Amino acid sequence: MNELMVILGWLGVFAPVGLGAIGSAIGVTIAGQAAIGAMLETDSGYGRFVGVAAIPSSTVIYGIVVMFSLQRTITPENGAGLFGIGILTGLALAYASVWQGKACASAIAASKSKPEIFGLSLAPAAIVEGFAVFTFVFALVLAGNIKG
């Protein structure tokens, strides 16, 4: 049982990075494909499309920071806490990334033919980013309460 708790603890420590990276990879791919498509139809603004496509990569950075905040000597006593915070943070970051990628793809598709809505079209992606930030901040707060 003790060994299981330690294993779970390790999973929890690395989950924010692992799941965050998976989510970012999917999100950036979705938005990136939209950016490539938009480049076929427009004659300028390529850098702007690529920049928007990179937005979902922020969640893996949050995951790295959360991982460092969870990193400590893993014991049977703190394994469950590390697992709970780490896994849920990773899942939330991954999910936010994927959907943020879709929101970015929509923003790219819409703003290619109507450049004046570029800033406003990014609002949904920015709101999703806010949810990822909530997860990130409160994971840091709770990580400080885990002994070890």
Partner 1 sequence: MRPIADRYVMLMASLPSIRLLGEKELPINPARLAERLKLLEPDDRTELEAIAAILSWNRIDTGEDDAAYMARAERTLAAIRSATLRAAALERLEIRTVIAALRRRHAGEPAPAQGTLWGIGRQVETIRRNWSQPDFGLGHQMPWIGPAREKLESGDSAGLERLILDTTWRAAGRHEFGHEFDFEAVVFYLMRWQLADRWARYDADAAAARFAQLLEAALPKSQAYEDAA
Q: Which residues bind partner 1 (CB under 8 A)?
A: 29-30, 33-38, 40-41, 102, 105-106, 108-110, 112-114
Q: Could you tell me the smallest distance in angstroms from the CB atom of residue 131 to partner 1?
A: 20
Which is closer to partner 1, CB of 29 or CB of 75?
29
Q: How far is the CB of 87 from partner 1 (least distance, A)?
A: 23
Choice between 35 and 70, CB closer to partner 1? 35
d(CA 22, CA 33): 17
**Shortest Cβ 142–partner 1 spacing (Å):** 33
Q: Cβ 107 to partner 1, closest distance in Å?
A: 10
Question: Smallest Cα–Cα separation from 38: which of 105, 88, 99, 89?
Answer: 105
Angle at 82 between CA 25 and CA 3, to 5 degrees: 110
Residue type, 122: L
Placement of tokens 């909530």 in the chain = 134
Residue 78 or 100 with smaller CB distance to partner 1: 100
Closest CA to 93 of 59, 133, 127, 55: 59
